[in-house]
Amino acid sequence: MSYIDGFVIAVPRANREKFSHHAETADSIFLEWGALRVIECWEDDVPDGKQTDFRRAVQATEEEAVVFSWVEWPDKATREHAMQKMHSMMESGQPDPRMDPEKNPMPFDGKRMIFGGFTPVVDMAP
């Protein structure tokens, strides 16, 4: 069964193009490591909630857009292998050159990212 990684971040609206470039570069690595697909979604209709909402979850300001993303993996084992590879590279100080912060800096505050891994319980298609 597939496995999903989900992410929500706040990105400065002025950095939309930079974000797209950064995401395409990072997402290509996930695909190389076994991801089936990666979806990056820029906010379009993100209402303020009465108790909580996407904007508050990532402390987005008026100058920031909410980005909702997910990575679909064929299974949790493939995802775990990819995450282990990423962490090993980062800890060794030798990340994939495409993710070198000097060449591909994150155009958002990664400290406000929310993320997690999910097991699908319903998966429907036409």
- pTM of full prediction above 0.85: yes
Kindly indicate the confidence band of residue 98, based on its pLDDT and cuts at 50, 70 and 90.
Answer: confident
pLDDT of 97 reads 77
**Residue 50 in 3-state DSSP?**
coil
Higher pLDDT, residue 63 or 97: 63
Weakest mean pLDDT among 47-56, 85-94, 112-121: 85-94
Higher pLDDT, residue 99 or 115: 115
Higher pLDDT, residue 86 or 18: 18
| d(C-alpha 22, C-alpha 26), whole Å | 6
- Helix extents (H) in the chain: 16-32, 54-57, 76-92
Domains of the chain, first to last:
3-118 (3.30.70.100)
| d(C-alpha 27, C-alpha 58), whole Å | 21
b/e map of 83-105 (b: 16 or more CB within 10 Å)?
eeebeeeeeeeebbeebeeeebe
Kindly indicate the confidence band of residue 88, based on its pLDDT and cuts at 50, 70 and 90.
Answer: confident
State pLDDT tens for residues 37-76: 999 999 999 999 999 999 999 999 999 999 999 999 999 9
